[in-house]
Amino acid sequence: MKAQRIDSSQLSKPERILWNYGITDPTEIDLEAIAFDLGATVRYRKLDGCDARIVGNATTAIISINTDSYPTRQRFSLAHEIGHWQEDRGVGVLPCATEDIGPQNAEARSKEAIANAFASQLILPDYLFKPRTSGRFPILDTASCLAEEFNASLTATSIKLAKVSPIPTVAVCHSQTQREWFVRSNAALSSDIWPIKQMHHDTSAFELLFGGSSKKNPQKNEAANKWLTGPGVFNSTVKVQSAKLPDGTVLSLLFVT
């Protein structure tokens, strides 16, 4: 990839950590080494009731990661705990449950949400991620390719792709009973536009959610009002692609046309 000019003063805190280590490619992001250099030792073991835990004082810490989690989940959990180590140092013991680590609604401002945002920037830093999205549509096929390149989960990569998209984009996750979470593009989508709370029965994603065997649908054009509520949606169309996640929920990435 062509070299780019970086203004380090514009980087986020986790990005500055990577930049100070001279990291210029996703394959160079070694989270265990970063944690160790920051004073935290990483241990992998079985944990009851949480995906990760950090125990520390003002100078050193031990980060424990649950070995029952799948590899990209372990990686995000480690980045999440590094976030706690940088932002909440000295608080003692912080056990992080499954629901603490990972997607939360865009309005979340909790300590766990801050650690999740830190983890996203540490694994999928803007200065490496954004150039790789140029000219590519925000669909799950794109997210899958980027997830492999950054050694990240499809969910984390889809969220990042939605947030940095220059066109109106939403990443949304539905269970059979409700909308579990969503995020939208930072600058391009009106705050009056919301994803629907329950999956519309007349969508391709509905078939995945209720017994479909396919893990990922091809991209399709669908009426925006089947996915979104708000002004103007009845006159719009979305391009959408959905995938069934291991927990049985369905992740959809869509953008308005």
- CATH number where 106 lies: 1.10.10
The model's confidence at residue 88, banded by pLDDT at 50, 70 and 90, is confident
Question: For residue 98, what pLDDT is reported?
Answer: 66
Domain match, 112 and 161 both: no
User: Which of 65, 95, 123 is a domain's end point?
Assistant: 123
Mean pLDDT of 213-230: 89
pLDDT at 104 over 70: no
More confident residue, 95 or 55: 55
Domain match, 16 and 112 both: yes
Average pLDDT, the chain: 89
pLDDT at 4 over 70: no
pLDDT one-digit tens code per residue, 35-46: 999 999 999 999
Structure tokens at 150: 């950054």
Counted domains in the chain: 2
Model pTM? 0.90
Question: For residue 215, what pLDDT is reported?
Answer: 76
Mean pLDDT of 107-130: 87
pLDDT at 93 over 70: no
pLDDT at 92 over 60: no
- How far apart (Å, rounded) are the C-alpha atoms in residues 161 and 239? 15
Domain match, 117 and 66 both: yes
pLDDT one-digit tens code per residue, 161-184: 999 999 999 999 999 999 999 999
Mean pLDDT of 146-173: 96
Type of residue found at 60: T
Domain match, 150 and 81 both: no
More confident residue, 198 or 108: 198
pLDDT at 185 over 60: yes
Question: For residue 127, what pLDDT is reported?
Answer: 96
Domain match, 61 and 112 both: yes
131 located within any domain: no
Domain match, 117 and 141 both: no
The model's confidence at residue 90, banded by pLDDT at 50, 70 and 90, is low
DSSP code of 33? H
Whether 129 and 11 have beta carbons less than 8 Å apart is answered as no
1 located within any domain: no
128 located within any domain: no
Question: For residue 106, what pLDDT is reported?
Answer: 47
Which contiguous run of DSSP H or E holds residue 162? helix 154-164
Distances in whole angstroms, Cα of residue 118 to Cα of each of 3, 15, 55: 25, 9, 18
Question: For residue 7, what pLDDT is reported?
Answer: 72
Share of the chain above pLDDT 70, in %: 89
Kindly report each contact of residues 200-209 with a partner whose C-beta sits within 8 Å and lies 24 or more positions away, as own/partner: 200/226, 200/227, 202/226, 203/227, 203/240, 204/240, 204/242, 205/174, 205/240, 205/242, 205/250, 205/252, 208/242, 208/243, 208/244, 208/250, 209/174, 209/175, 209/176, 209/244, 209/249, 209/250
pLDDT at 108 over 60: no
- 78: helix, coil or strand? helix
Exposure on the CB side of residue 253, measured as CA atoms within 13 A = 27
Domain match, 163 and 207 both: yes
Question: For residue 211, what pLDDT is reported?
Answer: 81
pLDDT at 80 over 90: yes
Domain range for residue 153? 137-256
- How far apart (Å, rounded) are the C-alpha atoms in residues 14 and 16? 5
Domain match, 143 and 251 both: yes
**Which of 113, 151, 147, 148 shows the shortest CA–CA distance to 253?**
147
Domain match, 141 and 237 both: yes
Q: What beta strand segments (E) does 60-163 contain?
A: 61-66, 93-96
129 located within any domain: no
Beta-ladder partners of 40: 61
- How far apart (Å, rounded) are the C-alpha atoms in residues 212 and 171? 20
First to last CA, the chain: 29
Chain centre to alpha carbon of residue 44: 22
Mean pLDDT of 92-114: 65
Domain match, 36 and 107 both: yes
